[in-house]
Structure 1
Amino acid sequence: MLRHRPTRGRRTAGLLTTALVALSAAMTAVAPTHTAHADTATLGELAEAKGRYFGSATDNPELSDTQYTRILGSEFGQITVGNTMKWQYTEPSRGRFDYTAAEEVVDLAESNGQSVRGHTLVWHNQLPSWVGDVPAGELLGVMRDHITHEVDHFKGRLAHWDVVNEAFEEDGSRRQSVFQQKIGDSYIAEAFKAARAADPDVKLYYNDYNIEGIGPKSDAVYEMVKSFKAQGVPIDGVGMQAHLIAGQVPASLQRNIQRFADLGVDVAITELDIRMTLPRTAAKDTRQAADYGAVVEACLAVSRCVGITVWDYTDKYSWVPSVFPGEGAALPWDEHFAKKPAYHAIAAALGGGSPAPGGDCTATYRVTSRWQGGFTAEITVGNGRTAPIDGWTVTWTLPGGQSISHVWNGYLTVDGQRVTVRNAGYNGTLGSNASTTFGLQGEGTAGTPADVTCTPAQPFGTPA
């Protein structure tokens, strides 16, 4: 993909997910493998019940964050190694291989019962400098050796490999990478052949961005896959990265997934995030949530769309702000690990009930300042409904050691560790896509609750 990070995770999907991936070519109307309780099931469990997987990418530096790893290990059935399987990490000098960092992620995923996607064997970025110095007559052999060594090292432990990544330009022409320039058009097919020889069982994918909709770039990939299938080149799937913009999900997404499936290959949404122009608002959250739901629904509509992976799950570790200044908030959890409307839209699309707790009333909790022994926080309440909200209630559980000394713009009640804040008389009515805020001063260590929920009062015109 673009500039990535790694992966890892867990879930009961584990070996069953791997088996489902292997059987995906035979799936038409997929029957649930088990009944997931929609009100308590994780995204991984909901996807598994649909015969799919739902996963996250991860990166090694994040694994020291215990709150992060707890969610990563419990919510997802699949993990993608976002960085440390790339060439610069695995073969930093010619003939010297190092899988230490990648193994950390794979070991963690395995301990959590999660399937693993390898990312990526051949890519024009994140190459060690020595690769560019290899003479043209030797590069094909060097590429084959690299693929063979790495695929063999992880043989039997991965569900998928991204064999070649981002080999096309936006106009459908071949990217002039060192492999394209020194080996020529045949390098992609040769990479797939080498990977298949090293592991006959792992699923082999071509992976790229901006191929989610039908256009010159996806057309070029389509023609390549069609040609590979005719020639017997061993390709099993196409990965659509899906680094999308809120409000711009391609209308042809489902049709595009279907046409690749009709070639006899699986399709995976491999690096999903949907960014917005900052700052976040309730209206933008609502638009983003609808887009996440639309992507999930498009995948579920095609039997050979085997699963979806978000490119890390929390805004805290998103790659987007560093590459697209002024944009971000692209993931289903915010930077404080609170579930956003996008999370609930994904769950609903997977059969997990209503789009968000309390309808489309949203509450976003943000720590605004902190000091020794205390903090302040601001909570934004939003209405994503078309009908107005005539009153709202926000609830959460206080993290251990926290207490609240004062609230403004709302009425506070506390029952043990359970906090309830109701609207004041002047800020309870919210029109469609409108929002308001209330604030609080707390004592203890600042931390974001994981279960902040907004419940609206009945909209205008609704009988009591």
Structure 2
Amino acid sequence: MTDHSAYLATADALIREHRTAQATVTLFDRDRIPLANQQVTVSQRKHKFLFGCNGFGTVPLVNHELEGPAKVWVETYAERLLGLFNAITLPFYWGRFEPKRGHPDTQRLLKTARWLVERGCVLKGHTLCWHTVTADWLLELSNAEILETQIARVRREVSDFAGLVDMWDVLNEVVIMPVFDKYDNGITRICQELGRVGMVRTMFDAARAANPAAVLLLNDFDTSPDYEALIQECLEAGIKIDVIGIQSHMHQGYWGVDKTLDVLDRFARFGLPIHFTEITLVSGQIMPPDIVDLNDYRVSEWPTTPEGEARQASEVVSFYKTLLAHPAVEAITWWDLTDGGWLGAPAGLVRRDNSPKPAYEALSNLIKGEWWLDPVEMVTDGEGRLQVNGFLGEYTLAWAGRTAPLYLDKKGTLSVEVHFD
């Protein structure tokens, strides 16, 4: 078993190795003359790494659907959300996006997407094809019609949102999809006919045709060899998967460093980027281990506790550092900013009243503290150079009332020129 404290020290070193750049930056004025011996302010604006959260609560806010206390609550929610995260997942569950056939919720989501992009967020749509929360009216159709309609739905959403939402969980939970038996649904029906690999190929082809520039994910909660086998079969069949999505709903307790590293190493062998797409760590009672389907756990109340909040904060730091230390991981998405979301769990980084928990503060201290460069005054040398060491991302250089962007987009030692026009 890995020594937790010792590993975190190792993780810090690996994070610096994989996530930072040491850049020699040469500054020029508009006449291409080096800015020698000049005072410059360097400020970080954005991480390259995607620190994400689902942002479903922004939809009613942006569309002005709330008043009074509810409006105040969601405004605070959005402030907490955007104060920490640079990547937001938006909801495209078919049964809610198009509960009545031919009447999709496109305009509300487009308005929300524009609002978030204007605030610097990278967006992902979740999800285009899933057997759960799918449209009930599919059951009125034949299997051939269901397939045709599902393909059209993929093309429509990916096309309509291109330029705003250019990242998609194309299929969700394909491992269980053809054998799902809790209730009848149209997606399981067609997956049984096509098979898992055929289903993935069909939906990825439709999404790729609609937006060739989109980043397409296969996403699953199943971290067993079954998911590995599915990915292997898809790749051998020539299907281009851009990113492997891994869910990590830890209602039954933190995985710990050893399991996390095992999952990372097993899925990194495919040579594809990994996104941890749905992270849950609770700050209350841990769900009993004998629950097989998390959806089966029902309690009248599931409160957060001071002891649980302290545990959650410690686990958040451990999990994020373990993931960030692995070079294959390119995104981490927390699931439910506030308590009382999925399953009613105390799984938020903030409480039901939007007050930050220790976990929110701990994560903020990493993303906007330990892994961030606060504004710093520097002076160029006689050849207009200065040394900027920081996490990969976007920076602003300010000199003599002017600003210019600086991009640290590759780890290690860099030489960069910046021109003030």
TM-score, normalized by length of structure 2?
Answer: 0.64
The one of 179, 187, 192 aligned to 1:181: 192
Q: 1:307 to 1:223 in 2, by over 3 A?
A: same
Find the counterpart in structure 1 of residue 35 from structure 2.
none
Show the counterpart of 1:262: 269
Output the amino acid matched with 2:51.
F
Shift of the alpha carbon at 1:269? 1.5
1:309 match: 333
2:95, 2:133 within 8 Å by CA — same for their partners in 1? yes
Corresponding residue to 2:357 among 334, 337, 340: 340
Distance of 2:327 and 2:315 partners within structure 1: 20
Aligned equivalent of 2:87? 78
SS of corresponding position for 1:76: coil
1:52 corresponds, among 49, 54, 64, to 49
Gaps of 5+ in 1: 1-26, 35-40, 212-217, 322-327, 355-464
- How far has the Cα of 1:279 moved from its partner? 4.2
Residue 24 of structure 1: aligned partner = none
Structure 1 residues 167 and 294 mapped into 2: Cα distance closer, same or farther (>3 Å)?
Answer: same
Conserved? CA contact 2:18–2:325, under 8 Å: no
CA deviations on 1:68-117 (whole Å, 9 max, x unpaired) are 22222332101110x3x222344444455440222132122112111101
- 1:299 aligns to what? 323
Q: 1:246 and 1:350 mapped to 2: Cα distance?
A: 26
**Which residue pairs with 1:29 in the alignment?**
18
Query: Offset of 1:347 from its aligned partner?
Result: 3.9
Alignment length (residue pairs): 300
1:329 aligns with 2:346: yes
Larger displacement relative to structure 2 (135-144 or 87-96): 87-96
Could you tell me whether the CA contact under 8 Å between 1:92 and 1:128 is conserved in 2? yes
1:205 is aligned to 2:224? no
Correspondence for 1:225 among 231, 239, 256 = 231
Q: Confirm or deny: 8 A CA contact 1:246 1:287 kept in the other structure.
A: no
Q: Which residue of 1 aligns with 2:247?
A: 241
Q: Relative contact order: is structure 1 or structure 2 higher (C-alpha 8 Å, sep ≥ 6)?
A: 2
Other structure's SS at 1:107 match:
helix
Q: 1:33 to 1:163 in 2, by over 3 A?
A: farther
Deviations 1:128-178 (A, max 9, x none): 222122212333322211111111111122242000012233xx9743623
Counterpart of 2:346, as a letter, is A
- Assess if the C-alpha contact under 8 Å between 2:114 and 2:164 holds in 1: no
CA distance in 2, matches of 1:247, 1:294: 13
The yes-or-no answer on 1:194 pairing with 2:211 is no
Q: 1:182: Cα distance to partner?
A: 4.4
* SS at structure 1 position matched to 2:207: helix
In structure 1, C-alpha distance between the alignment counterparts of 2:337 and 2:85, rounded to whole Å: 10
5+ residue gaps in structure 2? 1-15, 24-42, 63-70, 182-187, 286-301, 372-421
Distance 1:199 1:207 in 2: 19
RMSD: 3.0
Of the candidates 131, 143, 165, which is equivalent to residue 158 of structure 1? 165
How is 1:279-298 mapped onto 2 (pairs within 5 angstroms)?
279-298=303-322
C-alpha separation between the residues in 2 aligned to 1:33 and 1:163? 37
Percent identical pairs in the alignment equals 27
Matched-pair contact (CA < 8 Å) for 2:53–2:88? yes
Letter aligned with residue 309 of structure 1: T
Structure 1 range deviating more: 175-184 or 294-303: 175-184
- The equivalent of 1:386 in structure 2 is none
1:315-373 Cα offsets, whole Å, 9 max, x none, are: 2x62331xxxxxx321222223222221233345558359xxxxxxxxxxxxxxxxxxx
Alignment partners' CA distance in 1, 2:252 and 2:312: 5
Decide whether aligned partners of structure 1 residues 128 and 144 sit closer, same or farther in structure 2, where only a CA change above 3 A counts.
Answer: same
The 1:353/1:235 distance shift into structure 2, 3 A limit, reads: closer
CA distance, structure 2, for counterparts of residue 103 and residue 338 of structure 1:
29
SS of equivalent to 2:195: coil
SS in 1 for 2:165: coil
Distance 1:288 1:71, change over 3 A: closer
The match for 1:365 is none
SS of 1:113's partner is: coil
